[in-house]
Amino acid sequence: MALAKRDEGKKVNSNINVTPMVDVMLVLLIIFMVITPMLTNKVNVDLAKSENAAAMDDASKEDAITIAVTRDSKVYLGQNQTTLADLGSKVGDLLQNKTTKMVYFRADARAHYGTVMDAIDAVRTTGVDEVGLLTDQATQLNTAAPSGQ
């Protein structure tokens, strides 16, 4: 009677299967692509359209102070809702350690003008040097009249 001997050690596959890794990476990529826009625009407002908008790249930085005014006159500091009475003191606390005193406003196109002005006044009383009003670039259609000959 002979003993049955297995040679499993000789059948070891040392190749890396890349397909599951690629699947996981694609799923992670899709998740990050979906989540990233939600992180940048903390409060959803429809910005006013402007033909001569200047780029304000500092507004998209992580430490930028952004105030949003919605169409129903709610005021948000970052993503937290606040009142106009508390806005000045909260912005003042955030500006204590900053060298540039710049605050950005994202006002809805249909927001009450008085509420936006009250928010700007509340911020200006805390020693803010500059206020940036964020707008969207208006799309310019080719409106040139056809030349008749």
Does 37 or 81 have the greater pLDDT score?
81
Residue ranges of domains in the chain, CATH in brackets = 49-137 (3.30.420.270)
pTM: 0.64
* Distance of alpha carbon 100 from alpha carbon 94, whole angstroms: 11
Q: 30 vs 6, 17, 27, 66, 84, CA distance in Å?
A: 45, 22, 5, 28, 39
* Distance of alpha carbon 29 from alpha carbon 109, whole angstroms: 33
Q: Are 116 and 74 in contact (CB under 8 A)?
A: no
* Distance of alpha carbon 123 from alpha carbon 129, whole angstroms: 10
> CB under 8 Å, gap of 24 or more: what pairs does 143-146 form?
none
* Distance of alpha carbon 139 from alpha carbon 147, whole angstroms: 23
At 141, phi and psi to the nearest 5? Answer: -90, 155
pLDDT > 70: what percent of the chain? 85
Report pLDDT digits (tens) over 29-53.
999 888 876 665 567 888 888 888 7
- Model confidence at 143: pLDDT above 60: no
Region 83-110 average pLDDT: 88
Region 9-16 average pLDDT: 73
